Amino acid sequence: MTALRLLLLALGAGLLAVPASAADTSAAAQRARFEAEAGRPGQVQAGQQFFTQRHGAQWSCASCHGQPPTQQGRHARTDKRLAPLAPAFNPESFTQSSKVDKWFKRNCNDVVSRECSAGEKADVLAYLLSLSR
């Protein structure tokens, strides 16, 4: 059996599959995705403002993730520890598309009582990516 054939068989059997939890993207790629959907670039200042405002609801993003979101945060209701949100302080932040979509949907519903627009997501990511060590 040739090496190529063995490789194809191993892939087909899932023996060389990448774990489901492996990174499939980056924060910059997520920002670019939302910018493309919004038809405009993300704006750092708008993202910071969105992140810190309460939008008429009980919480802001900063209520749980801190301001700036460069250190460990705590969920306002459950007190669960949250890893730093800013990618420069947490290399795993925004590296799994399914989690990015899940958490934006859930957290936007908590903060603004609706799903965030692509522009709002691009702005928040622009802000988070602007934070550096």
Please write the tens of the pLDDT for every residue from 62-106: 999 999 999 999 998 899 999 999 999 999 999 999 999 999 999
Domain with 97, as residue range(s), is 24-130
pTM higher than 0.95, yes or no?
no
Answer yes or no: is 2 within a domain.
no
Q: Which of 40, 121, 133, 23 is nearest to 89 (CA)?
A: 133
Helices and strands in the chain, H and E counts? 6, 2
Structural domain total, the chain? 1
Round to whole Å and give the CA distance between 42 and 130. Answer: 11
Answer yes or no: is 89 within a domain.
yes
pLDDT score, position 15:
40
Answer yes or no: is 65 within a domain.
yes
Question: Contact 91/27 with Cβ under 8 angstroms?
Answer: no
Return the CATH number at 66: 1.10.760.10
Answer yes or no: is 66 within a domain.
yes
